[in-house]
A and B are shown apart, each in its own frame.
Chain A
Amino acid sequence: MTTVLNPATAVADGFVLAGETFRSRLILGTGGASSPHVLEQAIRASGTELVTVALRRVDSSATMGGGLLDVLTRCGVRLLPNTAGCRTAAEAVTTARLAREAFGTSWVKLEVIGDERTLLPDAVELVAAAEQLVADGFTVLPYTTGDPVLARRLADLGCAAVMPAGAPIGSGLGITDPHQIRLLRQSVDVPVILDAGIGTASDAALAMELGCDAVLLASAVTRAADPVRMATAMRHAVEAGWLAAGAGRIPRRFHALASTPDDGRPEL
């Protein structure tokens, strides 16, 4: 089945996350930016409306002229606190509560890291933390693996979205198992946000073509040699991937098929 979409309105229709509508399907992380000035330009170029910030990296009480919170306020984006650096459910729950106090939002990107070298999530601690935070009234957006069963369990216990890794955080490897992301997409009804592993624009477009509702990335932009240019590329890639996903791509064929048929050609 194909859907006819006006590209302008299709993008403007936006994506709904926990009852909030966003025009942009790109979520940015701030980690790795070389300066507040570059981050501000990159945020503006990306068109994002939602930016995730590690509570542990921000001193919300200090006077921070020209710092991170100043930048986010000036850009008019919504702030999504995250629990980066937490290793246990108990730590993550405490950090989420501190973030709610500090930033006045009950949204949290839940990260519970299980392994130092791969920074992959600890599934057991993640589920435990998600359960507690949902019960505590948080809007929980868990960073998870590509496991479709784990994603379903997270959605079942009340998470507002699931955020599978395409590849390890900061690796820039792209989506190492596209089929699993497709499986995961079909296992849950909540939004799927591809989180981690994006290296360049084609990775972001692929995530959207696989059926993801949005893409979250940080290093791919902040550590690029030209972050503002890469932010612009990501904006276009996410839009392109999403439009393509809804446009009904042609089947892959083994042999060629001329785009101009021979029928009706004059015989000379």
Chain B
Amino acid sequence: MLSHRRPDVTVVGGGPIGLAVAWRCADRGMRVTLYDPAPGSGASHAAAGMLAPVTEAHFGERALTALLVAAAARWPDFAADLTARTGRDLGYRTEGTLVVALTGDDLAEAERLWAYQRDLGLPVTPLRPAELRAREPLLATRLRGGAFAPDDHQVDPRRLVAALRVAAVGAGVRLVARRVATLAEVPPTGRVVVAAGCATAALTGLPIRPVKGQVLRLRAPGRAAPGFRHVIRGHADGRSVYLVPRVDGEVVVGATAEERGDLTVTAGAVLELLRAATDVLPELGEYELVEARAGLRPGTPDNAPLLGPLPGRPDVLVASGHHRNGIVLTPLTADLVADLLATGVADPLLVPFAPDRFGAGTVRDSSGAGQDAGPGMSQAGRTPWN
């Protein structure tokens, strides 16, 4: 009797990463139980859902960029598969991303990054202001320049989580609405996957810290679609902002990057985000402000995720620390973790992201209280981490 067997796999954490891992493992015939008191209520609930391997490529992070490129390449099939299984619309859009610069200083910063990204062979094409405004007529007339990144797409993380939940349950995953405070609470047989976002630190002692992001949601007047189609990333007078338009009329405006672990929304952050947003796209001032919230990105010392066995616990796999890139990394993380559990063989892509890469010095005492937060939100421009 199947019901008498212990689960093969226990997943701790029901954000997109945990749900997708559970779904893909169940698809491979494993028995999966997933623990989370409130699936999808962490970082993914705040996240904008940019799938941006190119405009997120930054100096000194070549290994991470390679992972993001590989991850983004899996999205079309993943989205099609998930929609076919569940009948759910994910808000997956492939119009691409426009990067825009407001002042001469902004343009100099942006051009430096485009040169680096093009050196890596990534597709980013500089555009003159007139070319930008031909693509998006609502852009501010005072823009000094920009670029088009056709491979940087978007998905709605809230729709993604809802669909993943349906897919996981449909594949036989058992969802248990309970918080796991220590790994000792997990049944001692089978394998464990920790995908608990910022709470992974308390569960494993690994160096993951909360990086707070404040993010706004606007709505176009009359419940119409917004007047622009591309994801827009603005360098606006020294500020960074992104604008993500959904077909249903929502526009996500984000985000701050703060070395804090609280969820307070501050007046100053809202002001700065809206100032930058309306500098780039003045019409947004007429939109309804429907939501302001904060989420906590699970940040690691090198901004890259922790993927692989927990040091000293070969029965425990970590799939966490996705920081700004949790949504784009969801399909790849789920498939590679499921493959590793099914075959015992780690894909070479995982090698640079082993959880023990920082050495013993950075693994912390795991007594600290954790925060419930799922994996990664992306963040505008590329504001520093502190």
> A: which residues have CB within 8 A of B?
30-40, 53-54, 57-59, 62-68, 70-71, 74, 222-223, 225-227
- Which single member of A35, A40, A74, A223 contacts B385 (CB below 8 Å)? A35
- Which single member of A57, A59, A71, A227 contacts B60 (CB below 8 Å)? A227
Contact B385 A36 (CB under 8 A): yes
Contact B207 A70 (CB under 8 A): yes
B201 to chain A, nearest CB (A): 5
Q: How far is B386's CA from A64's CA once the two chains are assembled, in angstroms?
A: 12
B319 to chain A, nearest CB (A): 17
Residues of B within 8 A of A66 (CB): 207-209, 299-301, 358, 362, 364
14 pairs, A vs B, C-beta closer than 8 Å:
A30-B386, A33-B384, A34-B60, A35-B385, A36-B301, A36-B302, A38-B302, A57-B259, A63-B202, A63-B261, A63-B370, A65-B364, A65-B368, A227-B60
Q: How far is B75's CA from A247's CA once the two chains are assembled, in angstroms?
A: 63
B370 to chain A: closest residue by CB: A63
Query: 0/1 per residue, B48-67, Cβ < 8 Å to A?
Result: 00000000001111000000
Residues of B within 8 A of A40 (CB): 301
B122 to chain A, nearest CB (A): 16
- Which single member of A33, A63, A225, A227 contacts B209 (CB below 8 Å)? A63
Contact A67 B58 (CB under 8 A): no
Given contacts A34-B58, A68-B386, A62 and B260 within 8 Å (CB-CB):
yes
A99 to chain B, nearest CB (A): 15
Residues of A within 8 A of B58 (CB): 34
- Which single member of B60, B61, B302 contacts A226 (CB below 8 Å)? B60
Residues of A within 8 A of B201 (CB): 63, 65
Contact B260 A65 (CB under 8 A): no
Query: 0/1 per residue, B366-386, Cβ < 8 Å to A?
Result: 001110000000000010111
Find residues 344-375 in chain B having any chain A CB closer than 8 Å to their own CB.
Answer: 358, 361-362, 364, 368-370
- Which single member of A38, A57, A59 contacts B261 (CB below 8 Å)? A59
B303 interface contact, C-beta 8 A: yes
B58 to chain A: closest residue by CB: A34
Contact A57 B361 (CB under 8 A): no
B210 to chain A: closest residue by CB: A62
Q: How far is B206's CA from A227's CA once the two chains are assembled, in angstroms?
A: 25
B205 to chain A: closest residue by CB: A65
Q: How far is B112's CA from A40's CA once the two chains are assembled, in angstroms?
A: 24
B288 interface contact, C-beta 8 A: no
Contact A222 B384 (CB under 8 A): yes
Contact A64 B209 (CB under 8 A): yes
> B: which residues have CB within 8 A of A?
58-61, 112, 116, 201-202, 205-210, 258-262, 299-303, 358, 361-362, 364, 368-370, 382, 384-386
- Which single member of B61, B112, B259, B262 contacts A64 (CB below 8 Å)? B259
B330 to chain A, nearest CB (A): 22
Residues of B within 8 A of A62 (CB): 209-210, 260-262
A171 to chain B, nearest CB (A): 9
Contact A31 B384 (CB under 8 A): yes
Residues of A within 8 A of B386 (CB): 30-31, 33, 39, 53-54, 57-58, 68
Contact B362 A38 (CB under 8 A): no
Q: How far is B59's CA from A33's CA once the two chains are assembled, in angstroms?
A: 11
- Which single member of B59, B116, B300 contacts A34 (CB below 8 Å)? B59
Given contacts A31-B386, A225-B59, A67 and B303 within 8 Å (CB-CB):
no
B362 to chain A: closest residue by CB: A66
Contact A59 B262 (CB under 8 A): yes
A64 to chain B: closest residue by CB: B209
A69 to chain B: closest residue by CB: B259
- Which single member of B116, B259, B303, B382 contacts A59 (CB below 8 Å)? B259
B201 to chain A: closest residue by CB: A65
Contact B259 A68 (CB under 8 A): yes
Given contacts A64-B259, A65-B206, A66-B207, A34 and B362 within 8 Å (CB-CB):
no
Q: Which of A63, A70, A222, A226 lies at the interface centre, i.e. has the most chain B CB atoms within 10 A of its CB?
A: A63
Q: How far is B300's CA from A53's CA once the two chains are assembled, in angstroms?
A: 19
B59 to chain A: closest residue by CB: A225
Q: How far is B208's CA from A234's CA once the two chains are assembled, in angstroms?
A: 30
Q: Which of B61, B206, B302, B358 lies at the interface centre, i.e. has the most chain A CB atoms within 10 A of its CB?
A: B302
Contact B259 A35 (CB under 8 A): no
Q: How far is B368's CA from A225's CA once the two chains are assembled, in angstroms?
A: 35
Q: How far is B61's CA from A33's CA once the two chains are assembled, in angstroms?
A: 13
Residues of A within 8 A of B260 (CB): 59, 62
Contact B59 A65 (CB under 8 A): no
Q: How far is B382's CA from A32's CA once the two chains are assembled, in angstroms?
A: 10
Given contacts A34-B60, A59-B260, A59-B261, A65 and B302 within 8 Å (CB-CB):
no
Given contacts A32-B384, A225-B116, A37 and B368 within 8 Å (CB-CB):
no
Residues of A within 8 A of B361 (CB): 74
Q: How far is B261's CA from A42's CA once the two chains are assembled, in angstroms?
A: 25
Residues of A within 8 A of B259 (CB): 57-59, 64, 67-68
Residues of A within 8 A of B202 (CB): 63
Given contacts A54-B386, A64-B209, could you give 15 more A-B pairs where the C-beta distance is less than 8 Å?
A: A31-B384, A33-B384, A33-B386, A34-B61, A34-B385, A35-B301, A62-B210, A62-B260, A62-B262, A65-B205, A66-B207, A66-B299, A66-B300, A70-B364, A223-B384
Q: How far is B201's CA from A184's CA once the two chains are assembled, in angstroms?
A: 49
A64 to chain B, nearest CB (A): 4
A227 to chain B: closest residue by CB: B60
A244 to chain B, nearest CB (A): 31
Q: How far is B361's CA from A65's CA once the two chains are assembled, in angstroms?
A: 11
Residues of A within 8 A of B369 (CB): 63
Residues of A within 8 A of B61 (CB): 34
Residues of B within 8 A of A31 (CB): 384, 386
Q: How far is B362's CA from A64's CA once the two chains are assembled, in angstroms?
A: 11
